A and B are shown apart, each in its own frame.
Chain A
């Protein structure tokens, strides 16, 4: 068995003034060793909440109400705080959305990377410094720059430092939460290239959370598409590109222009994302789905395997041709 992470029926709800917001509901997927999974969806679809639930960073008024998150067979949801603390960084770590927030402006980047090594591992200071320098070299920064402060780096370089920090304790699983959003196109590509190369080199498992479909399809092995708190489709990238089953996935693929295909007419999805507070038990996409029928308005379809490794949640599945 080489499954690193397995998320089963995870649901995270938030209490609001107006009722319960089902931010993440019944999400299941798994990740193999050395695999790169793209978790994509539009803003507010719950992809970051999934990541936070996995890391148990959900705070009041949010709560993980059900499900299991198995990291190498151990349930993170039930783990004690002490176990969890020892697993963060060493087994699972995060490259945050904004490196500005991850780096403390008053310490040198070397100090900060060293600190995370020293806290989690029993090594000497000298050893930690040596590793810090190696890590910086690994992400393409001169090791001697460990004495620099965060403000001396450009945005892309800070993101590299954040990557180095995430890798400080040799984790098996790295979650990159929109870590390239806000960077310039080329810088973004360079950071993504770095993550991809490191993933191959260190045989990492990576969850790449993003809203950028072309980028994710280019580098991920598998893709999970989220809509309004549900994963609607989870399949190998090739299958998504050639044979997307869920109407939302198809619509998403048709929504952005393609440089390689200038004749492609882009089509938007009518309507807008439903309010998740007190959402009725129906398919969450039915308000915008061109193929919706009565059943879609009354029940939420089951998320099930339709072909080898290809999961989707749609009542039209098996009924006949659609799309």
Chain B
């Protein structure tokens, strides 16, 4: 294992059981929410995970944050395998890894003041600190997220803050213990465009100041390209392409990534060449697919795509793609 990796995820799987059929002919089907994911997050980098809703990106983050148990696989953080830890040990490691959630209106308890909300993590891990020191920590955290003066905010309730300010408080709660890793689950998707940029810049700024490592989950490619050093594209519970942001944006290799990039880069081009980029297929994640998960919407599919699941294979330095028909893969084999 590479020493420079903060987080290593290998063969991570999560299945849900779907029951169907009548009483006597009860059928249980396994549905993959996350299907065999391998990724590493290097110290100090921001790894973007991008995909549509239901592709398993949030499930992956929740498993890494130990909010959900994996079905199979291994997650190691700073060399410790998180999957075999006892609950008390997990709670201890949570000091070092924190999560920022999507909905700023839901993530702060409406009945608690900002002070109590920010005290919560300190009380969970450093209960014995004197009150003055705890209070000081809270003030520092509020100042770090650029809500000044902190005293103005400390006694307010969440409903007295705007959406952007709430999300900042949520960020303050995540950084107050000075963690080394933060998973941000679509932190700006519920916010208005005009405040979105502030949150993104704040996160970039915090990473610089605190040396944070981040996992940034989003469905928006342009946000990901602004934030991330590397991007992993997920589709139907799998990583279909992973690589440095520049490679993903300028040389997308998986047909799904290609379509995504086309939409965001030049919508008019996409509208004119729609049939060449994506088919109007419907996706049913409960159906068992033998072949490539993207096959029903892929405009370049071959026979092999229906019968065989492609593997994630490296095509360039640090750039891997999971596609049978990828040109470079084809060139190499022929």
Contacts and interface: CB of A to CB of B under 8 A. Distances in A.
A–B in direct contact per CB < 8 Å: yes
B197 A266 contact: yes
A244 to B, nearest CB: 14
A154 interface: yes
Contacts, number: 107
Given A218-B267, A251-B194, A259 B261 contact: yes
B201 interface: yes
B45 interface: no
A252 B266 contact: no
Interface stretch (B5-13, B101-109, B221-229): B221-229
A42 B194 CA distance: 8
A58 to B, nearest CB: 24
B265 interface: yes
Contacts of A106: none
A302 B282 CA distance: 49
A1 B97 CA distance: 64
Interface string A225-265: 00000000000000000000000000110111111101000
Contacts of B270: 189, 193
Nearest to B221: A259
A267 B195 CA distance: 9
A127 B309 CA distance: 47
Nearest to A189: B263
A266 B271 contact: no
B94 to A, nearest CB: 30
A68 B84 CA distance: 69
Contact of B193 (A157, A184, A187, A255): A255
A268 interface: yes
A256 B197 contact: yes
A268 B201 contact: yes
Interface in A255-285: 255-260, 262, 266-270, 272-273
Contact of B219 (A185, A251, A255): A185
Contacts of B162: 272
Interface stretch (A6-14, A59-67, A130-138, A207-215): A207-215
B268 interface: yes
Given A211-B192, A259-B264, A268-B195, 19 more contacts: A43-B192, A140-B280, A185-B52, A185-B260, A186-B52, A186-B278, A190-B274, A190-B278, A214-B222, A215-B267, A255-B197, A256-B222, A257-B200, A259-B222, A259-B261, A262-B225, A262-B249, A266-B197, A272-B162
Shortest beta-carbon contacts, A-B, top 7: A268-B198, A184-B52, A218-B267, A257-B226, A268-B197, A266-B197, A269-B194
Interface of B: 52-53, 162, 164-165, 192-201, 219-223, 225-226, 246, 249, 256, 259-261, 263-268, 270-271, 274, 278, 280, 282-283, 297
18 contacts: A186-B297, A193-B270, A193-B271, A196-B271, A197-B271, A256-B193, A256-B197, A257-B197, A257-B223, A257-B225, A259-B222, A260-B265, A260-B266, A262-B246, A266-B226, A268-B196, A268-B199, A268-B201
